[in-house]
Amino acid sequence: MSSTCAVIVHHRNFPDVLNTVQQVLSQGVAPENVILVDNSEDHEVRAALEQFTPQGVAVSFVGNDGYGAAANFGIEWVVTNRPNSEYVLVSSHEAVALPHAVSNMTQYLDLNPDCGVVGPVLLIRGSRAIWSSGGQLTKFGRRPVHRMQELDRPTSCSWVDGAFAIYRLSALTTDRFDAQFFMYYEETDLHMRLGKKGWKVAVIPEAVVEQDTNGAPPYYVGRNSYLFLRRHAGLLPAWLTSVREATRFCLASGSVRERRVRLRDYVTGLRDAIAARPT
Residue 71 has pLDDT above 80, yes or no: yes
Q: What are phi and psi of 16, to 5 degrees?
A: -60, -30
Task: Specify the pLDDT at position 278.
Answer: 62
What gap in Å lies between CA 182 and CA 202, rounded to an integer? Answer: 24
pTM (global) more than 0.95: no
CATH 3.90.650.10 fits 4-211, yes or no: no
Ranges of each domain in the chain = 4-211, 218-275
Q: Which long-range CB contacts under 8 A does 194-199 form with residues at least 24 apart?
A: 194/116, 194/117, 195/158, 195/159, 198/114, 199/114, 199/115, 199/116, 199/117, 199/168, 199/171
**What pLDDT, in 10s, does the model give residues 133-176?**
999 988 877 888 889 889 999 999 999 999 999 999 999 999 99
% pLDDT > 90, the chain: 70
